[in-house]
Structure 1
Amino acid sequence: MFLRHPDMGAVGEPVKFSGSDRPDERARNLAEVLLVVQGRRGRFPERVERALRELFPGMSLRVESRFGRVVLVGEEGGIELPPPTCRMAL
């Protein structure tokens, strides 16, 4: 699969859940894709966990679904780091 450089601003924004398991070309629906993959397996595949550790060193990430929207939430040093738009959009 070919992806252009991820749109890191959009990756952090909540997206409406549609059930898609294919990322768009800028990975704007990354949280949704991760949620679908996690739901099928009960957890992320090892290669996905490894990629997330490399992309976000020192952070643990989880996917949350609220009010029909999906968002990536990070944690670093025991502190939750929700996306900046999370409080307003959810």
Structure 2
Amino acid sequence: MSACGTFLSHDGPRADAPRIYSGVRLDVAAWQHDDAYIERYKLQRPGYPLADLPLSFALDSLLLPLCIYRSIYQWLAVPPGGW
């Protein structure tokens, strides 16, 4: 329980996965058993999503400027359909 939702989602294999508050999104998806979200972005389900939620929120808030920059860069630099 160390904001693992954030680490799991930022380290995911899909470049098109949402990055802004991605740890919180992953924790909520795991808590609601939203397997479609987890499978779509090929993410690993966190073990204790409700316990991890406050830590993921804090770390996602700290990483927010970087995530915004990365999302804008990806939107501008990556052509539709990927490389």
Q: TM-score, normalised by structure 1?
A: 0.29
Which structure shows the bigger proportion of residues in helix conformation? 2
Q: TM-score, normalised by structure 2?
A: 0.30
Larger RCO, structures 1/2 (Cα 8 Å, 6+ apart):
2
